[in-house]
Structure 1
Amino acid sequence: MTQATTGTTTTAEAENDILQRARATVLDKGQGLGKDEIMEVLRLPDERIKDLLALAHEVRLKWCGDEVEMEGIISLKTGGCPEDCHFCSQSGLFQSPVRNAWLDIPALVDAAKQTAKTGATEFCIVAAVKGPDERLMDQLIDAVNTIQSEVDINVAASVGILTREQVDRLAKAGVHRYNHNLETARSYFPNVVTTHSWETRRDTLKMVKDAGMEVCCGGILGMGETLEQRAEFASELAELDPHEVPMNFLDPRPGTPFADMEVMDTKDALRCIGAFRLALPRTILRFAGGRELTLGDIGTEEGLLGGINAIIVGNYLTTLGRPQEQDMDMVGKLRLPIKALNTTV
């Protein structure tokens, strides 16, 4: 008995194709792919990337809508961090050019106002620390209260590993979303950070979720991890079920252990975008650091039509981003509406 064929592809082969199976599982049912299926997606040949991104875009439109969420970030405390995250130039353990700096509350409020003017609905305050001490917590709470009284924008925070008491204080202050990246797959984490564990970061995220704040958790791709570990990472994020996943691509920083790593291949980055969307059909996937270097203008547009539905606008913590107006123009060119504040709360 012979199998029916369509061109050179048998019916059985077509039915077994990972994108066909993903269409039935992810697009039709809203169920994310598992680790083994994510691996199949990451192994798709270059000529299938266009099909992958098209499906990922369909999934994003169906389960997240067509709006793009904009966010600005600012560093409350820069540099001098005691941790050894190998990608980060803010570590006080490396000979990097970043210098210690603190911003006062008026500067944070002004930055929030400037961010709101771009149309962004999220403003994230970040500090380079293992976890906040009392001084930092007090300043952060004051900043959140002042911004909320003067600026029409959601305030998020990212200040490292938290205690339960600190989680409760941030939730009470009205922090909308807390960012704490797992950074990479659990199995690869010791190659990236040695001064604290993957499990410690996950514990903070569980407390944040229990306190009722939205969870923002992603990581950085292109740090030497294998395809298997990228699939592992995507499945671990899906298990955590965060509200938002920032997708960073390594931008090798001078003075860090990862300074000499090669920039991730554009096609591999696009495969990751499609794969993460198929693993996380209902989650905000946000373009974050490294996209300019890894993807360029064309790749960034392909990502926004391939599963990405949020962007950090302006500069990052220690690297320059694109002008905010350029991103706004790009989103308009792609005919994608920008999410309004009243749809994010």
Structure 2
Amino acid sequence: MTAATTEAEILTIAREQVLQRGEGLSEEQVLQVLRLGDEHLTGLLALAHDVRMRWCGPEVEVEGIVSVKTGGCPEDCHFCSQSGRFPTPVRSAWLDIPGLVKAAAETAATGATEFCIVAAVRGPDARLLSQVRDGIAAIRESGNDIQIACSLGMLTQDQVDELVAMGVHRYNHNLETARSHFPNVVTTHTWEERWETLRMVRAAGMEVCCGGIIGMGESDEQRAEFAVQLAALEPDEVPMNFLIPQPGTPYESYEVVEGKDALRVVAAFRLAMPRTMLRFAGGRELTLGDLGAEQGMLGGINAIIVGNYLTNLGRPAQRDLDMLGELKMPIKALSETL
């Protein structure tokens, strides 16, 4: 059997297994997809798009994010400019309640249905939880009914319960990378500690948002490992980030992921998780550019962050909204459960 025949076969298998039956690919199968040659990329993206349309539908969820507490984090995540352990340009800062309300209003004005409050911390202390509680109350008092998500690091059970009581819709806590690669990325806490927070979030009834960053020195085998580990978690949403090498961090000299590789990863993750929301997040502009973003939306992605990220500029929100209009992809409406 030739290599070309083998590559063609994995797409045929995926079409039957994932598109027709809705069963995600195994780790070995994901690895085969990640190793497909460039000549198969168009067919792979088309299949991933077909899978997304069949099992998720045509709607795209639009989200905006804002940092309530920036910089000064005690953890040593090697990709992050907000770590207080590295000589990066980012300094610690807090966003006040009026600023939070304004950011939520600006996000809602784009047509987004999700607003995520993020903090650079190991886990939330009493001050941070108070700020989040007051911020959510102020957003609601302003008449804004946008869904609120949070990303505040690792949680205790009491903190999970507090967030549920505040009306937090979804909690983001990324596993970042494959379990086998995690110790090369973070040493101040473990992959298992992150998993435990996600378990508690799921048990409490909040939606689980969990993804990671591609391009942190992981192998194709570890990308396949990560895809099936995420699939086992059954998250409601998986943010797809691509490393933006940050000055002062241990990864500042890492090369940016090539566009074709990024698209291959997106498609492979879609084939591993046919029913999961896959969201374009940080680094897509640098890795893919405008054309690549469109290819990704036609290659398995069905959600997007608009505007800026935490410490990096994104594309203007209107450009992404215009892109969705040109692709005739409707924006998901606000949940009727609010």
RMSD: 1.7
2:40 to 35, 41, 48: 48
- CA deviation after TM superposition for structure 1 residue 21, in Å: 0.6
| 2:202 maps to 1:216 | no
The aligned residue for residue 312 of structure 2 is 319
The aligned residue for residue 90 of structure 2 is 98
Q: For each residue in 1:257-298, what CA deviation from the matched residue of structure 2 results, as whole angstroms up to 9, or x when unmatched?
A: 000000001111010010000001000000000000000011
Q: For each residue in 1:136-170, what CA deviation from the matched residue of structure 2 results, as whole angstroms up to 9, or x when unmatched?
A: 11111121222233212000000000000000110
The aligned residue for residue 109 of structure 1 is 101
The aligned residue for residue 145 of structure 2 is 152
In the alignment, the residues of structure 2 paired with residue 250 and residue 344 of structure 1 have an alpha-carbon distance, to the nearest angstrom, of: 35
1:69 to 61, 73, 77: 61
Letter in 2 for 1:341: L
TM-aligned CA distance change 1:325 to 1:71, over 3 Å: same
In the alignment, the residues of structure 2 paired with residue 199 and residue 135 of structure 1 have an alpha-carbon distance, to the nearest angstrom, of: 26
Q: Secondary structure at the match of 2:222?
A: helix
In the alignment, the residues of structure 2 paired with residue 310 and residue 278 of structure 1 have an alpha-carbon distance, to the nearest angstrom, of: 16
2:71 to 76, 79, 84: 79
The aligned residue for residue 183 of structure 1 is 176
| 2:31 maps to 1:23 | no
Letter in 2 for 1:271: R
The aligned residue for residue 277 of structure 2 is 284
In the alignment, the residues of structure 2 paired with residue 161 and residue 14 of structure 1 have an alpha-carbon distance, to the nearest angstrom, of: 42
Q: For each residue in 1:167-225, what CA deviation from the matched residue of structure 2 results, as whole angstroms up to 9, or x when unmatched?
A: 01101111000000000000000110000000000000000000000000000001110
1:332 to 309, 312, 325: 325
The aligned residue for residue 307 of structure 1 is 300
Percent identical residues: 66
1:265 to 258, 263, 266: 258
- CA deviation after TM superposition for structure 1 residue 15, in Å: 11
In the alignment, the residues of structure 2 paired with residue 48 and residue 119 of structure 1 have an alpha-carbon distance, to the nearest angstrom, of: 35
The aligned residue for residue 223 of structure 2 is 230
The aligned residue for residue 242 of structure 1 is 235
TM-aligned CA distance change 1:197 to 1:271, over 3 Å: same
Q: For each residue in 1:58-111, what CA deviation from the matched residue of structure 2 results, as whole angstroms up to 9, or x when unmatched?
A: 000000000111000000000000000000000000000001110111110110
Name the TM-score, length of structure 2 as normaliser. Answer: 0.97
Name the TM-score, length of structure 1 as normaliser. Answer: 0.95
Q: For each residue in 1:105-134, what CA deviation from the matched residue of structure 2 results, as whole angstroms up to 9, or x when unmatched?
A: 111011000100000000000000000001
In the alignment, the residues of structure 2 paired with residue 312 and residue 188 of structure 1 have an alpha-carbon distance, to the nearest angstrom, of: 26
| 2:135 maps to 1:143 | yes
TM-aligned CA distance change 1:337 to 1:165, over 3 Å: same
| 2:24 maps to 1:35 | no
Higher gyration radius (CA) = 1
Q: Say if 2:7 and 2:36, in contact at 8 Å, map to a contact too.
A: no
| 2:190 maps to 1:197 | yes
Q: Secondary structure at the match of 2:238?
A: strand
TM-aligned CA distance change 1:159 to 1:246, over 3 Å: same
- Using the TM superposition, name which of 47-56 and 141-150 deviates more: 141-150
Q: Say if 2:24 and 2:272, in contact at 8 Å, map to a contact too.
A: yes
1:297 to 272, 290, 294: 290
- CA deviation after TM superposition for structure 1 residue 342, in Å: 3.0
Letter in 2 for 1:201: R
Total equivalences in the alignment: 337
User: Which ranges of structure 2 fall in alignment gaps of 5 or more residues?
Assistant: none
Q: Secondary structure at the match of 2:268?
A: helix
In the alignment, the residues of structure 2 paired with residue 95 and residue 45 of structure 1 have an alpha-carbon distance, to the nearest angstrom, of: 40
Q: Say if 1:148 and 1:155, in contact at 8 Å, map to a contact too.
A: no
- CA deviation after TM superposition for structure 1 residue 14, in Å: 7.8
Give the alignment of 1:153-168 within 5 angstroms.
Answer: 153-168=146-161
- CA deviation after TM superposition for structure 1 residue 322, in Å: 0.2
The aligned residue for residue 335 of structure 2 is 342
Q: Say if 1:15 and 1:21, in contact at 8 Å, map to a contact too.
A: no
